[in-house]
Amino acid sequence: MRLHGLKTMENYTLIITEKPDAAQRIASALDSQGKAKKIEDKGIPYYIAKRDKNIIVVPAIGHLYTVAGEKNERNHYPVFNFKWVPRYTAEKNAKQTRTWIEVISELSNNADMFIDACDYDIEGSIIGYCILKYACGNKDSISKRMKYSTLTKEELEKSYAEMLPHLDFALIEAGKTRHEIDWLYGINLSRALTIAAKNWSKRYATLSTGRVQGPTLRFIVTREKAIKSFVPTPYWCIRAEAEIDCSIFEAEYEKKRIETKREANSVIEACKGKSGQIDKIDVKKFQQMPPTPFDLGTLQSEAYSFFSYTPMRTLNIAQRLYLDALISYPRTSSQKLPPAINYEAILKNLNKFSEYKKLATELLAKPELKPNEGKKEDPAHPAIYPTGNLPEKALDNAERNIWDLIIRRFMATFGDPALRQSMKVSININGQRFYLRGIQTLEEGWLRFYKPYLRTEEVILPQMEEGQTIKIRKILLEDKFTKPLPRYNPSSLLKKMEEAEIGTKATRATIIQTVYERNYIRDERMVATDLGFEVFEILDKYCPTVVSIKLTRELEEKMNKIQTNNEKRENVLMEAVRILKPAVEKLKDNEKIIGEQLSNALKKAKLEERTVGICPICNKGNLVVLYSRKTGKRFAGCTNYFKGTCKTSFPLPQKGIIKSLRRNCRGCGWPTVQVRMKKRRPWTLCFNPKCPLKEEWRKTKIALQNM
């Protein structure tokens, strides 16, 4: 059925959603038979639901409109005049959005009621508002708003029945301001860097920074500087091996760190050959409260900790689970679970799953269901929770992991406090005091609900009495050195951004991903590259305001105040331009110097990106990815080839992306690379043709074929 076939239909309700999956679920939930009709026009899907009147539900594909300069000048800055335009006019890779806008615009012609049913947050509100204003001909002022946190049939029907009378204009104003300021920062600062490098080297390379990206890079570079300038200081630790009931236990010396070798030796001499006497046994029982429900940040942190999923990957997985109506809306900062979500109904549904049946039954038997909530609130959505729905299709391993984590966290919040006992035993060895520490769980409480994801430690000590003499087997002296703070990883950096209150729950993961993509940082334990250092040093030298964490946070606070009608959009925009304008002018005045610095850093970055590791044959040159002048094919070759001292080379796959892992093979110690191909999992390639791991794999393969 083509769109022109709807010309006879009039007086229908038009509902705008953010994504096709959401449109299908909303249409099915609102259709009186639960069977909405799918129609496609020019490849764009939409749905007709029949209720008391006809409803057409049409999706967007995220943002169909964006901010752009009033003049289409790509190689020019500063730029301070902007307007909202269709994405296809501003972005080369967004041509498909033109058709979506055309179809939505035609569908709006005969509608007599308009509803924004995009996700209830800043991004969703902006998406719906722009479509209703620009594609539907200024229908934003008469549109109603559906607000929901899950895509379950029950909640969608309730949301439709209890629609908000108008759009959330305060949220829209805050969203518009955020997009406009981010555009102003991004376009001006990124063009300043990119144009400076291009004018100097005559080669194009994408360089970027922005309102939040700059301060984020500051965290990494500052930590990297501290690590590189750190001078280790020696110290000593002493432990005693005590034999109790035929078992050996380690007791720590009362001073965890001894500053001089002389003091350490005197303790060792005093304890040599001596027995220990138990002076005091201190036993304490304490309650360990259940965890709080997941907000997006804590979900991302736990997923990184247990599955090594980056914050961006976790967000993408959670978004898919939300669109499949398996969990609530994930982009939330709330740690609250209101009774309105119906705890009992969710647990009864979870009771249908064999792996959760026993735990859900236990919770349903409680006289009262009350979650242990955290302090953080979000006016738009509750904490993340499972809907209790069955998956309609098979989940992949990653989806299953995140879903299981959310279910168990949800159940754990309703559990009883765990009762635990700590034991501290003071041992006197010839006047020197050592401590033996134990901890054990007496009553599991909530721990059994969250068991696969626990970090509790059990150290059970034998029965002892004060005054008891115990045998000391050894006194151990350990030389140690102080260590610098660890490098950030994606999870700890996201937590740092949260603490500094820069970025939003929805954008922080994307910013971290961008810093990686720009080659400003590398590795899971984030190392600032030469290019990352150079970009930060330039910004910090010529325009420190744009990488100031304090100013970025203050701007965030002002944008948040727009959302609560305590600040005006115009004032915040003027403040942003006031900070940005002199910064961009300073960059322009020093364009040649900056261009030279960036060009040199880019050259180093490209070489670093191509470097695989030390040549395993000559052990002097570097193995790098090269391209043959004759065939154009890529291979790995030693840099000493150009000096005529080493002819080592290895073939490489010609398809896919080659990425240096900067680590050697665990089987043979030779350099490795990662190969990434479309529709295939990334795989690791070791250059050693005689690697024992390859031989092992070959034998396994032959054995499987012969079975």
Would you name the residues annotated as active-site residues?
Answer: 329
Is 285 strand, coil or helix? strand
Dihedral sign for Cα atoms in the order 550, 552, 558, 561: negative
For residue 184, which of 84, 85, 90, 81 has the smallest C-alpha distance? Answer: 81
Amino acid at 680: R
Q: Going edge to edge, which strands form the sheet with 657-664?
A: 657-664, 671-676, 683-686
E-strand ranges in 444-554 read 469-481, 521-522, 527-528
For residue 324, which of 144, 570, 152 has the smallest C-alpha distance? Answer: 152
The torsion angles phi and psi of 42, rounded to 5 degrees, stand at 55, 30
- The widest CA-to-CA distance across the chain, in whole angstroms, is 100
The torsion angles phi and psi of 610, rounded to 5 degrees, stand at -85, -15
Structural contact between residues 660 and 607, judged by C-beta atoms closer than 8 angstroms:
no
Calpha distance 219→549 (Å, rounded): 9
Calpha distance 610→522 (Å, rounded): 13
CA 208, distance to chain mean position in Å, is 20
Burial class (CB within 10 angstroms; exposed 0-12, middle 13-18, buried 19+) of 98: middle
Q: Which strand (E) or helix (H) includes residue 20? A: helix 20-30
Alpha helices in 141-168 (DSSP H): 153-161
Q: Going edge to edge, which strands form the sheet with 54-59?
A: 37-41, 44-50, 54-59, 12-17, 111-116, 144-145
Amino acid at 621: G
Calpha distance 28→264 (Å, rounded): 74
**Residue 629 CB: number of other CB atoms within 10 A?**
6
Structural contact between residues 423 and 280, judged by C-beta atoms closer than 8 angstroms:
no
Whether omega before 78 lies within 30 degrees of 0, making that bond cis, reads yes
State both tokens at 92.
Answer: 């080369």
